[in-house]
A and B are shown apart, each in its own frame.
Chain A
């Protein structure tokens, strides 16, 4: 395996390698984000938690679409699976939220693998098609009457807000925001390690030239289905966090348009970038609210226009633009 990935790495040599992480900046960003818990309150903290949840989901989708080249238009379904797993476990099983969260990740991992395995046969466009169908069908499945004892049908499930443990002097909002932040940091570190590892290089090699990767000894089937599973797991964890933040799950929060939002976030943040997820999440969190002031339906119009504009004008997304700018500055410095 190691030799195979090394070879895949050589194959990749001409491609720009991921920029080294500047840890001091990351640490500063995390500290700043943590400080927000003590400055802002209530609704702002809720928005912060949702933003981080979207960011995790976008990292997940980007692992699959950006790094492995498999297009998914149905990741809202995995978001829903994560949310519902946590909600059902907490509501029916009485388990605490910090058990529900990893459980959501594991269930999504399993379902993602189960879907990704047959999807191995589907190339680009056909995968997009099948996942699109999955995204459209998801809310209908959640409403299914024989699942109603668990899912609560159209009415959904109401959840309790997690309280701060160990008698910490934090409000529930503050605690949950900090908890989400911690989960986000863990997920980002996991994603970064995966991308930098031999497996990550294999994923990119498959994206760039499937057959070449295979002939270099990369196990395409294994890597592609694991990429699908891991991507689903990230998105599932994100969905679980959103369920806890909203304290409510219902089928209509997970329509096709959620899946589309996730794709929008990936494109806006930058396809195949890790940190782009934060920009993408901010975009899908705040832009609809602004656009809705114009008209209730305008939000989607803005999404559509932005999607097409980004593909034509800024295919690298926000991160692509930032990288270009920083390259320019560095070159100017050297002169």
Chain B
């Protein structure tokens, strides 16, 4: 019996870990491209999920709404890069952080304004009695892990095996040289932001059936995703995914066996501060040596 509870918690952890991995991946994308941490990532994902909810309420089938939301989020993310982030190219760190916080509260309040602050149910595309549902894992959990892994595989292929992915990495790593080679860096940054927003949207739609939909739903998830990204090394996509899954499992196991569910978020805080202090580059990250 205890073994079964343990396994259940482990699997639940892997399932939420998949969500954290997705958000962490989105954070890493933006960090790699611009060396900024997007504090608004969670609220952007929440907003996207509300868009999906509105479409489903309007009578669209789930998967149509899903892909329409991903597309819309991509456009929205790219637009934000173009309108708000690009002018901050050379601004001091504080200004950039403050603008991200500004975006966070704007998305939060617009979502509350348009869709109301009461908690809503969000459907899952994975039927309860699907063949892949087992006694230990609900269909939604299996589906979430599957979607997260697909996303990771797709991104990995994109970055490693396509020309566009290669140019995106080049533009992020060395904008000046890339420009000299004729790469349109600005457009690629928009692409990076669009992708990050789209990934966030998927994460939002996957987590909403579990935590229910309301404007505050992503705040905690963003913190876990931060922890995941930092554990893996914030400049490493594979690390972010591993970190995300790890945080999901740790959160569930520590929550069940050590501190109780009320203090789960504090686990994330301890993880963040701990990782930053002990191993700032994360498990897979590279140490950055700065030239003075």
Which residues from chain A sit less than 8 Å from chain B, CB to CB?
Answer: 65, 69, 71, 73, 118-119, 121-122, 124-126, 128-130, 132-134, 136-137, 140-141, 143-145, 211, 256-257, 260, 263, 267, 271, 295-301, 303-308, 311-312, 315
Contacts and interface: CB of A to CB of B under 8 A. Distances in A.
Given A73-B97, A141-B266, A311-B91, A304 B106 contact: yes
A301 B97 CA distance: 17
Contacts of A315: 95
Contact of B117 (A130, A260, A297): A297
Nearest to A307: B102
B277 A121 contact: yes
Contacts, number: 136
B219 interface: yes
8 tightest Cβ-Cβ pairs between the two chains A and B: A304-B106, A297-B112, A307-B102, A300-B109, A301-B109, A304-B105, A308-B102, A297-B109
Interface string B242-282: 00000000000000000010110110110011001100100
Given A121-B276, A133-B273, 19 more contacts: A65-B94, A129-B37, A130-B273, A130-B276, A133-B269, A136-B219, A136-B220, A256-B219, A296-B112, A297-B215, A298-B109, A299-B109, A300-B106, A301-B110, A303-B109, A307-B102, A308-B102, A311-B95, A311-B98
Interface of A is mostly: helix
A91 B87 CA distance: 51
A136 B223 contact: yes
- Give chain B's interface residue range (CB within 8 Å of chain A): 35 or more
Nearest to A312: B87
B99 interface: yes
Contacts of A301: 105-106, 109-110, 113
Contacts of B108: 297, 300, 304
A141 B268 CA distance: 12
Nearest to A124: B93
A189 B99 CA distance: 31
B289 interface: no
B211 interface: no
Contacts of B117: 296-297
Nearest to B103: A304
A122 B266 CA distance: 19
B136 interface: no
A308 B103 contact: yes
A145 B262 contact: yes
B37 A263 contact: no
A258 B217 CA distance: 18
24 contacts: A119-B273, A122-B276, A128-B93, A129-B226, A129-B276, A130-B269, A130-B272, A133-B227, A136-B220, A141-B266, A143-B262, A260-B101, A260-B105, A297-B215, A298-B109, A300-B109, A301-B109, A304-B101, A304-B105, A304-B108, A307-B98, A307-B99, A308-B103, A311-B98
Given A125-B37, A134-B269, A315-B95, A307 B263 contact: no
B165 to A, nearest CB: 25
A69 B95 CA distance: 11
Interface of B: 36-37, 39, 84, 87-88, 91, 93-95, 97-99, 101-110, 112-113, 117, 215, 219-220, 223, 226-227, 230, 260, 262-263, 265-266, 268-269, 272-273, 276-277, 280, 292
A295 B37 CA distance: 30
A122 B272 CA distance: 11
Contacts of A256: 219
B101 A125 contact: no
B194 to A, nearest CB: 20
A267 B98 contact: yes
B112 A311 contact: no
B104, B110, B117 — most chain A CB neighbours (10 Å): B104
B78 to A, nearest CB: 18
A211 B292 CA distance: 9
Contact of A303 (B105, B260, B276): B105
Nearest to B292: A211
B105, B220, B262, B272 — most chain A CB neighbours (10 Å): B105
B223 A307 contact: no
A303 B113 CA distance: 14
Contacts of A263: 98, 101
Nearest to B110: A301
Given A305-B106, A308-B84, A133 B101 contact: no
A96 to B, nearest CB: 33
A304 B277 CA distance: 31
A140 B266 contact: yes
A145 B259 CA distance: 11
Contacts of A118: 273, 277
A301 B292 CA distance: 41
B235 to A, nearest CB: 12
A259 to B, nearest CB: 9
A65 B105 CA distance: 20
A122 B281 CA distance: 11
A134 B277 CA distance: 15
A312 B91 CA distance: 10
Nearest to A259: B101
A39 to B, nearest CB: 35
A139 to B, nearest CB: 9
Contacts of A134: 269
B39 A132 contact: yes
A311 B91 CA distance: 9
B99 A311 contact: yes
Contact of B263 (A140, A257, A299, A303): A140
A124 to B, nearest CB: 4
B102 A305 contact: yes
B42 to A, nearest CB: 10
